Amino acid sequence: SDIEKGTYPHYMLKEIDEQPLVMRKIVQQYQNEQGELTIDSAILDAMNEADRIYIIAAGTSYHAGLVGKQFIEKMAHIPVEVHVSSEFSYNMPLLSKNPLFVFISQSGETADSRGVLVHVKDLGYKALTITNVPGSTLSREADYTLLLHAGPEIAVASTKAYTAQMAVLSILAYVTAQSKGLMVGMDLVKELGIIANSMEVLCDDKEEMEAIAREYLSTTRNCFFIGRALDFYVGLEGALKLKEISYIQAEGFAGGELKHGTIALIEDGTPIIALATQEHVNLSIRGNVKEVVARGANPCIISMKGLETNEDRYVLPVVNDMLTPLISVIPLQLISYYAALHRDCDVDKPRNLAKSVTVE
Ligand code: G6P
């Protein structure tokens, strides 16, 4: 590949480290001369005409879509559904009168997502693609495109594209809200700056992430991620990262759902990675941790400054509580990376996986 790893042993580690830079690049790319965030007015019109948004994506991009739904609903007050692209046509939802389809795809080439795009264009609907690759199939075939500006992502396990997708979705939600005269109650340029700085702090703490991977994941068969609210979605992505590159069986759960079945799998020493970055669910997620600890689980609580207790394994710096997924995923990416390394896995090219899947 013509993209160099430089001094990095793996593309994945390089791409994790690029995330602060990508955040700053995205803010720059979406700022006008006055320093205000802007989006192409044709896209804003499409957002404002839509009575419902359908986000369509696969894999990591689907996980970014789940977070994006919260941004759009909370900031811009437009209802959003998020669908896995391969399932959309089988379980096609009843569509609203004026739907807007938003395709999220790092590569812009995923066949499952393209299948849905072709179908909804046939039905006469408008589509926006959010992608890292200008001129990609999904970008060309949609009415509008928003670029991620993350630079080429080479490692099969997606890292910087995921945080870039969430950042661009936050900008889309924020600018749409402003165009409707809605109060968002934050300065997103400033908040994304804080995100970039916090990402840097986390990327500088690799020794600690490696220690956590060694402590919890060097011999385990399985691992569970739990969280509530936004932390639930980040847990899904954390589990996917770990599965993809370390081959440890991992699942992400809503904190309250574990007791409805999966808790049966908890044995002595089973690692549970619990995210606790959301103040309104902090007590409940800690309650869930107690439930699994009572069954012998080995808990690794990742919390946020201000919400921490002395049982937490890692405490994240404070960021805006709607944007926590942009930083809470970084330790999960790094922990997965080191778990894969310790288990002698091929980090950048995991077995059975492809970077872009162009078959259905
Ligand atoms: C493949 C990759 C995943 C990715 C998914 C969606 O399965 O291995 O990392 O999340 O496709 O890719 P896209 O390019 O559409 O975001």
1 confidence band (pLDDT: 50, 70, 90): low
Ligand 1 center to residue 109 CA distance, Å? Answer: 9
State residue 240 phi and psi, 5-degree precision.
Answer: -60, -45
Question: From CA 292, how far away is CA 289, in angstroms rounded?
Answer: 5
pLDDT tens for each residue of 68-117: 999 999 999 999 999 999 999 888 999 999 999 999 999 999 999 999 99
Ligand 1 center to residue 158 CA distance, Å? Answer: 7
Q: State the average pLDDT over residues 322-348.
A: 96
pLDDT tens for each residue of 261-309: 888 899 999 999 999 999 999 999 999 999 999 999 999 999 999 999 9
Torsion angle, alpha carbons of 61, 62, 67, 71, to 10: 80
> What's the confidence (pLDDT) of residue 357?
86
Statement: residue 150 has pLDDT above 70 = yes
- Find the angle CA(340)-CA(214)-CA(279) to the nearest 5 degrees: 95
Ligand 1 center to residue 134 CA distance, Å? Answer: 16
360 confidence band (pLDDT: 50, 70, 90): confident
Q: State the average pLDDT over residues 6-15.
A: 95
Tracing tokens 């959003």 back to the chain, one arrives at 80
Q: Is 110 in the pocket of ligand 1 (CB under 6 A)?
A: yes
Q: Is 156 in the pocket of ligand 1 (CB under 6 A)?
A: yes
Q: Is 356 in the pocket of ligand 1 (CB under 6 A)?
A: yes
Which residue is closest in CA terms to ligand 1's atom 13?
Answer: 105
Q: Name which of 310, 241, 321 is nearest 12 in CA terms.
A: 241
> What's the confidence (pLDDT) of residue 184?
94
pLDDT tens for each residue of 195-248: 999 999 999 999 999 999 999 999 999 999 999 999 999 999 999 999 999 999
> What's the confidence (pLDDT) of residue 359?
82
> What's the confidence (pLDDT) of residue 328?
98
Ligand 1 center to residue 260 CA distance, Å? Answer: 30
Query: In the chain, what percentage of residues exceed pLDDT 70?
Result: 99
Statement: residue 53 has pLDDT above 80 = yes
DSSP codes joined into one string, 71-126 = HIIIII---EEEEEHHHHTTTPPPP-SSEEEEEEESSS--HHHHHHHHHHHHTT-E
Ligand 1 center to residue 245 CA distance, Å? Answer: 14
Ligand 1 center to residue 352 CA distance, Å? Answer: 13
**What's the per-residue H, E or C state across 183-224?**
CCCCCHHHHHHHHHHHHHHHHCCHHHHHHHHHHHHCCCCEEE
Which residue is closest in CA terms to ligand 1's atom 11?
Answer: 356
Half-sphere exposure of 155 (CA within 13 A, CB side): 26
Mean of the per-residue pLDDT values for the chain? Answer: 96
Can you state the angle between helices 160-179 and 188-203, rounded to 10 degrees? Answer: 170
Q: Is 107 in the pocket of ligand 1 (CB under 6 A)?
A: yes
Q: Is 158 in the pocket of ligand 1 (CB under 6 A)?
A: yes
Q: Is 106 in the pocket of ligand 1 (CB under 6 A)?
A: yes
Q: Are 253 and 262 in contact (CB under 8 A)?
A: yes
> What's the confidence (pLDDT) of residue 2?
59
What beta strand segments (E) does the chain contain?
Answer: 52-57, 80-84, 99-105, 126-131, 144-147, 222-227, 249-254, 271-276, 298-304, 314-316
Which residue is closest in CA terms to ligand 1's atom 15?
Answer: 105
Rg (CA), the chain: 20
Which residue is closest in CA terms to ligand 1's atom 8?
Answer: 355
Ligand 1 atom nearest 157 alpha carbon = 9
Q: Is 159 in the pocket of ligand 1 (CB under 6 A)?
A: no
Statement: residue 135 has pLDDT above 70 = yes
Can you state the angle between helices 160-179 and 325-342, rounded to 10 degrees? Answer: 170
Which residue is closest in CA terms to ligand 1's atom 2?
Answer: 355
Percent helix, strand, coil in the chain, to 5, is 50, 15, 35
